[in-house]
Amino acid sequence: MKKVILAVLALSVLGAVTACGTEKKESAGKEDKIIKVASQAPPMTDVVKVAAEVAKEDGWEIELVQVNDNVAYNDMVSGKEADASFAQHEPFMMKYNEEKRTNLVAIQPIYDAKVGFYSKDYQSVDELPENSKIALPSDVSNEGRALAILQEQGLIKLKEGVGVNGTTKDIIENPKKFDFLSVDLLNLAEAYSEPGVSLVYNYPTYISKIGLTPSDALFLEKNIDGRFSIQLVAREDNKESEKIKALKKAMTSDKVKEFLEGEHSETLVVSF
């Protein structure tokens, strides 16, 4: 009798273990089809949502993880809390890699934002007063781009050869003696209304907070520089994975392109 009871118990345990193992395998299989993408603000978050609809047709689930700043999405990808991010251009990513000693890689450019300078009080470059303030982004990659645009307009002159990699220290001519303010990218829109600020650099995503679009800019970047395309970003160790391949396919789909051109043509240019 004891042997029979023991045999029944053994089979019960074996059955439970087998069932548990099956559940784990099924769970693992399901998780393998989930692609976590960290992003920060529209239209980037909207693009991820549209791509999710496309990926679903191929059996993939794209999960948007929305963050509140321009560091968290990189931290999540480098820390393997997310598979990829969609929120930045390659120079910004490379600066993060340099500072954090990480190995993020640009996978695919998706669009180029129409960036430029906005002014609350002035309607032309000639009207900009001497000794007024110009608000620039505080991160090096965006600061260099902003300065290059000011040089395009003849407002400053940079050291020869610095291109979009300059800083305010590289300004060799400043005829109107502008005072340059270093402001976090997320706070630049607020500088628009500050007294004495004649120009504010910004992206459509952030300047939209105060109801402005690129059509309201005093001037925009004359020629699109592909190095600043908003990119799909992953890690060196997962860039060739099936998840990233599926994500890239969805992000460069006709549906995403039609969404960007149909809903956001005023603020960006599609890069694929």
| 261 plus 198 within the same structural domain | no
- Tell me, yes or no, whether 101 lies in a domain: yes
| 136 plus 205 within the same structural domain | yes
Amino acid 157: pLDDT:
98
| 187 plus 240 within the same structural domain | no
Domains in the chain: how many in total?
A: 2
- 61-66/84-89 β-pairing: unpaired
| 107 plus 172 within the same structural domain | no
- Tell me, yes or no, whether 238 lies in a domain: yes
Whole-angstrom distance, CA of residue 235 vs CA of residue 80: 9
Residue 55: which domain range? 33-113+227-270
| 57 plus 91 within the same structural domain | yes
Q: Residue 116 is which amino acid?
A: G
- Tell me, yes or no, whether 1 lies in a domain: no
| 240 plus 262 within the same structural domain | yes
| 107 plus 231 within the same structural domain | yes
User: pTM, whole model, 2 decimals?
Assistant: 0.83
Q: Mark the ranges of the chain whose per-residue pLDDT is less than 70.
A: 1-31
Amino acid 31: pLDDT:
57
Residue 181 CB coordination number (10 Å): 18
| 107 plus 120 within the same structural domain | no
Nearest to 176 by CA among 229, 121, 131, 207: 131
Nearest to 166 by CA among 142, 144, 135: 144
Q: How many helices and strands, by DSSP H and E, does the chain display?
A: 9, 13
Tens digits of residue pLDDT in 148-182: 999 999 999 999 999 999 999 999 999 999 999 99
- Tell me the C-alpha to C-alpha distance, in Å, between residue 141 and each of 43, 135, 137, 207, 271: 21, 15, 9, 19, 20
- The CATH number given to whatever domain includes residue 156 is 3.40.190.10
| 41 plus 106 within the same structural domain | yes
| 77 plus 46 within the same structural domain | yes
Amino acid 6: pLDDT:
37
Structural domain ending residue among the three candidates 195, 220, 245: 220
Nearest to 87 by CA among 102, 117, 107, 101: 107
| 129 plus 86 within the same structural domain | no
Q: Among all chains, which residue has been given the structure tokens 């608000």?
A: 135
